[in-house]
Amino acid sequence: MIAAPGSQAPAKPDTLSKNYLITFSTTTNGKPVGELTMLTCSPQVSVSGPLDSGPSPTSFGVAGELAEDEGLLLFTYNIDFSYPVVTAVATGAVAPPQAVPAPGFAQPMSASVQYQQHRSQGMLRMKIGTPYEVLKAAGVTYTVVISAPVEK
Protein backbone atom coordinates (compact mmCIF):
# COMPACT_ATOMS: atom_id res chain seq x y z
CA MET A 1 0.00 0.00 0.00
CA ILE A 2 1.37 3.40 -0.96
CA ALA A 3 0.78 6.32 1.39
CA ALA A 4 -1.03 9.30 -0.05
CA PRO A 5 1.13 12.39 -0.59
CA GLY A 6 1.42 14.41 2.63
CA SER A 7 0.29 11.53 4.88
CA GLN A 8 2.57 9.81 7.35
CA ALA A 9 3.01 6.10 7.85
CA PRO A 10 1.88 4.90 11.29
CA ALA A 11 4.64 5.12 13.88
CA LYS A 12 6.20 1.81 14.86
CA PRO A 13 5.49 1.13 18.54
CA ASP A 14 8.40 0.98 20.97
CA THR A 15 9.39 -2.61 21.61
CA LEU A 16 12.07 -4.51 23.46
CA SER A 17 14.50 -6.73 21.55
CA LYS A 18 12.61 -9.90 22.55
CA ASN A 19 9.68 -11.22 24.57
CA TYR A 20 10.03 -11.44 28.34
CA LEU A 21 8.03 -13.57 30.78
CA ILE A 22 7.32 -11.59 33.97
CA THR A 23 6.15 -13.54 37.02
CA PHE A 24 4.92 -11.96 40.23
CA SER A 25 4.48 -14.36 43.16
CA THR A 26 3.61 -14.27 46.83
CA THR A 27 4.57 -16.48 49.76
CA THR A 28 3.31 -16.36 53.33
CA ASN A 29 5.74 -17.63 55.94
CA GLY A 30 7.57 -19.52 53.17
CA LYS A 31 4.43 -21.18 51.73
CA PRO A 32 3.36 -20.26 48.16
CA VAL A 33 0.14 -18.23 47.90
CA GLY A 34 -0.04 -17.75 44.15
CA GLU A 35 1.35 -16.03 41.10
CA LEU A 36 0.47 -13.87 38.13
CA THR A 37 2.47 -14.20 34.89
CA MET A 38 2.52 -12.12 31.74
CA LEU A 39 4.41 -12.23 28.43
CA THR A 40 5.45 -8.96 26.78
CA CYS A 41 7.86 -7.21 24.45
CA SER A 42 6.46 -3.80 25.38
CA PRO A 43 8.43 -1.41 27.56
CA GLN A 44 5.13 -0.52 29.31
CA VAL A 45 4.02 -3.14 31.82
CA SER A 46 0.57 -3.21 33.40
CA VAL A 47 -1.23 -6.19 34.93
CA SER A 48 -3.72 -6.73 37.75
CA GLY A 49 -5.77 -9.56 39.17
CA PRO A 50 -5.98 -12.14 41.95
CA LEU A 51 -2.87 -14.21 42.74
CA ASP A 52 -4.97 -17.22 43.76
CA SER A 53 -8.49 -18.54 43.36
CA GLY A 54 -9.43 -19.00 47.01
CA PRO A 55 -12.47 -17.47 48.71
CA SER A 56 -10.39 -14.46 49.87
CA PRO A 57 -7.74 -13.99 47.17
CA THR A 58 -4.71 -11.76 47.31
CA SER A 59 -5.28 -8.92 44.84
CA PHE A 60 -2.35 -7.63 42.87
CA GLY A 61 -1.67 -4.72 40.51
CA VAL A 62 1.50 -3.41 38.91
CA ALA A 63 2.31 -0.68 36.42
CA GLY A 64 5.76 0.22 35.26
CA GLU A 65 8.38 0.29 32.56
CA LEU A 66 10.93 -2.23 31.40
CA ALA A 67 14.16 -1.29 29.60
CA GLU A 68 17.18 -3.24 28.35
CA ASP A 69 20.55 -1.94 29.54
CA GLU A 70 23.85 -3.68 28.71
CA GLY A 71 22.60 -7.23 29.31
CA LEU A 72 20.48 -6.27 32.32
CA LEU A 73 16.87 -5.18 32.61
CA LEU A 74 15.79 -1.98 34.32
CA PHE A 75 12.35 -2.40 35.85
CA THR A 76 10.63 0.72 37.21
CA TYR A 77 7.48 -0.25 39.10
CA ASN A 78 4.48 0.74 41.20
CA ILE A 79 3.03 -2.33 42.89
CA ASP A 80 -0.16 -2.59 44.98
CA PHE A 81 -1.10 -5.74 46.88
CA SER A 82 -4.18 -6.36 48.96
CA TYR A 83 -3.59 -9.35 51.24
CA PRO A 84 -6.47 -11.03 53.14
CA VAL A 85 -6.21 -11.60 56.88
CA VAL A 86 -8.80 -14.16 57.95
CA THR A 87 -9.84 -14.32 61.59
CA ALA A 88 -12.03 -17.09 63.00
CA VAL A 89 -14.75 -15.82 65.32
CA ALA A 90 -16.84 -18.02 67.63
CA THR A 91 -20.57 -17.57 67.13
CA GLY A 92 -23.50 -18.52 69.34
CA ALA A 93 -23.69 -18.70 73.10
CA VAL A 94 -20.45 -18.76 75.04
CA ALA A 95 -20.17 -21.50 77.64
CA PRO A 96 -19.01 -20.60 81.15
CA PRO A 97 -15.23 -21.05 81.61
CA GLN A 98 -15.64 -24.07 83.89
CA ALA A 99 -17.86 -25.92 81.41
CA VAL A 100 -16.12 -28.52 79.30
CA PRO A 101 -17.69 -29.25 75.89
CA ALA A 102 -18.79 -32.82 75.27
CA PRO A 103 -16.42 -34.90 73.10
CA GLY A 104 -17.02 -34.20 69.42
CA PHE A 105 -18.75 -30.89 70.21
CA ALA A 106 -17.42 -27.90 68.33
CA GLN A 107 -18.48 -24.34 68.96
CA PRO A 108 -19.91 -22.70 65.81
CA MET A 109 -17.37 -20.47 64.05
CA SER A 110 -17.50 -17.82 61.36
CA ALA A 111 -14.71 -16.03 59.52
CA SER A 112 -13.95 -12.35 59.30
CA VAL A 113 -11.80 -11.10 56.40
CA GLN A 114 -9.89 -7.83 56.43
CA TYR A 115 -7.41 -6.77 53.76
CA GLN A 116 -3.97 -5.31 54.43
CA GLN A 117 -2.76 -2.89 51.78
CA HIS A 118 0.89 -3.21 50.76
CA ARG A 119 2.56 -0.85 48.30
CA SER A 120 5.99 -0.70 46.78
CA GLN A 121 7.52 1.73 44.31
CA GLY A 122 11.02 1.74 42.90
CA MET A 123 13.45 0.60 40.26
CA LEU A 124 15.44 -2.61 39.97
CA ARG A 125 18.47 -3.49 37.89
CA MET A 126 17.68 -7.14 37.17
CA LYS A 127 19.49 -10.15 35.77
CA ILE A 128 17.32 -12.29 33.52
CA GLY A 129 15.99 -15.33 35.41
CA THR A 130 16.96 -14.07 38.89
CA PRO A 131 14.10 -13.65 41.41
CA TYR A 132 13.97 -10.41 43.41
CA GLU A 133 12.00 -9.88 46.62
CA VAL A 134 10.42 -6.46 46.05
CA LEU A 135 8.48 -6.27 49.32
CA LYS A 136 8.26 -8.07 52.66
CA ALA A 137 5.49 -7.13 55.06
CA ALA A 138 3.66 -8.94 57.88
CA GLY A 139 5.06 -12.37 56.96
CA VAL A 140 4.21 -11.92 53.26
CA THR A 141 6.96 -11.82 50.62
CA TYR A 142 6.35 -10.48 47.11
CA THR A 143 8.77 -11.58 44.39
CA VAL A 144 9.29 -10.67 40.73
CA VAL A 145 11.33 -12.60 38.19
CA ILE A 146 11.78 -11.71 34.53
CA SER A 147 12.94 -14.46 32.20
CA ALA A 148 13.14 -15.34 28.55
CA PRO A 149 10.17 -17.54 27.63
CA VAL A 150 10.76 -21.18 26.80
CA GLU A 151 10.54 -21.73 23.05
CA LYS A 152 8.12 -24.52 22.11
Count CB atoms within 10 A of the CB of residue 22: 20
Which long-range CB contacts under 8 A does 103-110 form with residues at least 24 apart? none
Closest by CA to 92, choosing from 84, 101, 82, 79, is 101
In tens digits, the chain (152 residues) has pLDDT values of 555 566 676 667 799 999 999 999 989 888 998 899 999 999 999 999 988 888 888 888 999 999 999 999 999 999 998 878 888 877 765 555 555 555 665 667 788 888 888 888 999 999 999 999 998 887 888 899 999 987 76
User: Cβ contacts of residue 18 below 8 Å, gap of 6+?
Assistant: 41, 148
